[in-house]
Amino acid sequence: PDGKRILFYTRDSLPPAPTPEAQQASWSSAELYAIDADGCNRTRLTQNDSLDQSPVMSPDGTKIAFTSCRDGQREVYVMDADGMNARRLTYSRQP
């Protein structure tokens, strides 16, 4: 909210995938990060074997909402701005 930090997601801890299909599958373990606007102080906020993506900071800067597939399908979660205390907010029906 104050423009000092940027939230993003990436799979940069994995080697490049050789095919488009493998590349799509490799995104299944993307993680959330925060970094200062000047490119310093990169901080990993999530760490699991599932896709975490689309982080959005709350207006007061204390929470981050994001989507994750950590419980088997894509759901909305919220966590503290430091990556702690993640909790699931939505419960989609199984197809």
Give the full edge-to-edge strand order of the sheet including 31-36.
5-10, 31-36, 43-44
Average pLDDT over residues 61-67: 96
pLDDT at site 49: 83
What's the pTM?
A: 0.80
Cβ pair 73, 94 in contact under 8 A:
yes
Average pLDDT over residues 34-46: 95
Whether the predicted pLDDT of 76 surpasses 70: yes
pLDDT at site 73: 87
Helices of type H across 17-63: 20-26
pLDDT at site 21: 60
| Side-chain-side CA neighbours of residue 93 (13 Å) | 1
Q: What is the mean pLDDT of the chain?
A: 86
Whether the predicted pLDDT of 29 surpasses 90: no
